[in-house]
Amino acid sequence: MLTVEERMEISVLSKHGESIHGIAKAMGVSRNTVRRYLREGDAAATRKPGPKRSEKLDPFKSYIVGRMKAAAPDVIPATVLLREIQARGYDGGYTRLKVFVRGLRPAPKPDPVVRFETEPGCQMQADWGTVGRGADKLKVFVGTLGWSRTAYVEFCDDEQFETLRCCHEHAFVFFAGVPREVLYDNMKTVVLERNAYGRNLHRFHPGFLDYAGHAGFLPRLCRPYRAKTKGKVERFIGYLKRSFWIPFVASCRQAGIKPDKQAANAAVAIWLREVANARVHATTGEVPLERMIIEQGRLQDLPKPYRGRSPKEEAARRVKAEPKPHASIGYQHPLSTYDALLEPAVSEAISLEVVA
């Protein structure tokens, strides 16, 4: 609406012979505004706006608000809500929905990350996340293949070694192969003490090392305080929480059921197949499942079922004193154990840290 001063200025400029285009440019308003005022006078400035036109999104706004309230204090991304309301008959655009959802939540802050790329079949990044609150809290294991960005997700009750080992086995079956290395941070079920035997010579969990040798992958560690080195899995955990977990919990609340481990694993399997691994990845610009076809050809074969160590072997390998570095290279195993696993060119890389 034009102010009194603006209306007066339009009148003065027009009386001095200024064109509509010139007035609009000088005033910083549209030509239609100038033209309407000159044609209708003060009536154009005081005219009440007409009734708001209905939008395609209007019938779905109450549903969207309800979903956002059910997810609070977390938020459901607009992309997820778009899929949901499309299933209910919405045939409008995404931009209108995104603007509406933005008004229901604060703008997110960007999260800087460190990126590096690996060859197909080379690396999987693994990490734990935590979802839920109080009695509904669950642990979630995520394994992401570095090249294809294909991800595996499993919800668990704890982060114990046996749970971690089973998650690895399930992930390798899901990927139909084993990568040459797996990247971790400071999981206590993976590494017991960094630099225990010298620089980059870490003391690993003996049971974990035994399983790694059996499965045929090399454990690698992020540098301390540099968890973003494994940014692929870090970013996926955030995406998992926003795109799957929050909408899933909201649906459970609306249905009056508890979001337990069994229900979460059944639902996430569908989400991985139809959404996460089927979307065009923002970094690669390709679909993870399509890149997975190439990466699977570069993975190692699945190992035989792991049966663990016998009581006699366990007693023989139990650590009673700190071993010397040259005898174990930080692994508490003879080097011959890994002769079949490591190429000579990388035999000195046992316990290497990733430098981004």
Cα-Cα-Cα-Cα dihedral sign, residues 50, 53, 59, 61 = negative
153 strand-pairing partners: 142
Please check whether residues 189 and 256 belong to one and the same domain. Answer: yes
Buried/exposed code over 142-168 (b: 16+ C-beta within 10 A; e: otherwise)? bbbbbbbbbbbbbbbeeeebebbbebb
φ, ψ (nearest 5 deg) of residue 80: -70, -45
Residue-level pLDDT at 67: 93
What does 240-305 look like in DSSP terms, one character per residue?
HIIIIIHHHHHHHHHHT----HHHHHHHHHHHIIIIITTSPPTTTSS-HHHHHHHHHTTSBPPPPP
Between helices 94-102 and 61-71, what is the axis angle to 10°? Answer: 50
Residues 41 and 82 in one domain: no
Digits of tens for pLDDT over the chain (356 positions)? Answer: 677 767 777 887 888 788 888 888 877 788 888 888 888 775 555 555 556 666 889 999 999 999 999 998 888 999 999 999 999 999 999 988 998 888 887 655 555 544 567 899 999 999 999 998 888 899 999 999 999 999 999 999 999 999 999 999 999 999 999 999 999 988 889 988 877 777 767 888 999 989 999 999 999 887 665 545 556 778 889 899 999 999 999 999 999 988 899 999 999 999 999 999 999 998 889 999 999 999 999 999 999 988 876 555 555 555 443 444 433 333 333 434 334 433 333 333 333 333 33
Residues 25 and 163 in one domain: no
Specify the CATH number for the domain of residue 25. 1.10.10
Is there a single domain that holds both residue 22 and residue 143? no
Residue ranges of E strands in the chain:
123-131, 138-145, 151-156, 181-184, 191-193, 203-204, 218-222, 353-354
Number of domains in the chain: 3
How many whole angstroms separate alpha carbon 161 and alpha carbon 208? 7
Does residue 222 share a domain with residue 90?
Answer: no
Q: Same structural domain for residues 76 and 211? A: no
| pLDDT score of 49 | 56
> Residue 309's pLDDT is what?
66
Are 164 and 146 contacting, i.e. CB atoms less than 8 angstroms apart? no
Q: What is the pTM of this model?
A: 0.61
Q: Which domain holds residue 98?
A: 58-102
DSSP classification of residue 338: G
CATH assignment of the domain containing 158 = 3.30.420.10
- Kindly state the helix (H) or strand (E) to which residue 84 belongs, with its residue range: helix 78-86
If asked whether residues 71 and 216 sit together in one domain, one would say no
DSSP at 352: P
